[in-house]
Amino acid sequence: MRTLFFAILMTAPLMTACASTGQTNTYQEDLKRLEASCTERQGILTPTGLQSGRPETEYACRITGGASRIPPR
């Protein structure tokens, strides 16, 4: 009985460490938001080659259209 109680007591901090930190944004949500922002500016996302777990550093927005120094008439 003591061994069982001791085992439960020792694993409790490990179980709470794996619990959610309250962060609601996932990688996919951040990537969709970044893609929408880039598309709105008439660009496409291109990989940067970095692996950080954050879409903001893993992808860059390359503007493909509408980027001109000639003012519209």
Looking at residue 38, what is its pLDDT? 94
Residue 14 is assigned to a structural domain of this protein: no
Looking at residue 31, what is its pLDDT? 95
Structural domains in the chain (count): 1
Of the pLDDT bands very low, low, confident and very high (cuts 50, 70, 90), residue 52 is very high
CA distance 57 to 53: 8
Looking at residue 43, what is its pLDDT? 92
Looking at residue 65, what is its pLDDT? 72
Tokens found for residue 15: 């179980």
Domain that holds residue 48: 27-65
Looking at residue 51, what is its pLDDT? 92
pTM for the predicted model, two decimal places: 0.56
Tokens found for residue 29: 């949500």
Q: Which pLDDT tens digit goes with each residue over 16-40? A: 555 555 666 799 999 999 999 999 9
